[in-house]
């Protein structure tokens, strides 16, 4: 036997689909005091993020996905990956 190993293909990047990233089933994400404008889109919502800021779940997930893409692009731009 030789010591050769096959190179694995890099993992395929999963496509972002709204509703997959955050679990907001806990009642602490609901504010009974009434709707306030979402911090991302400006439409009224009674949902609150982990910092108690008004945010739709889908808007918060899209913001997280955007932050991850931006961080990855900045990392690659600085020559840190091949």
Q: What is the pLDDT of residues 7-25, one digit of tens each?
A: 777 666 666 565 667 888 8
Looking at per-residue pLDDT, the higher value among 13 and 75 belongs to 75
CA-to-CA separations, 80 to 8, 67, 69, 72, in angstroms, rounded: 20, 18, 15, 10
Distance, CA of 59 to CA of 10 (rounded, Å): 29
Q: pLDDT-derived band of residue 68, with 50, 70 and 90 as boundaries?
A: confident
Handedness of CA 29, 30, 34, 39 (dihedral sign): positive
User: Residue 3 corresponds to which tokens in the numbers above?
Assistant: 């010591």
pTM for the full predicted model: 0.66
């Amino acid at each position: 036997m030789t010591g050769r190993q096959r190179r694995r293909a890099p993992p395929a990047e999963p496509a972002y689909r709204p509703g997959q990233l955050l679990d907001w089933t806990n009642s602490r994400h609901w504010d009974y005091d009434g709707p306030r404008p979402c911090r991302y889109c400006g439409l009224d919502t009674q949902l609150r993020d982990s910092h108690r800021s008004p945010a739709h779940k889908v808007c918060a997930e899209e913001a997280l996905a955007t932050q991850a893409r931006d961080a990855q692009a900045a990392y690659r731009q600085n020559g840190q990956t091949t």
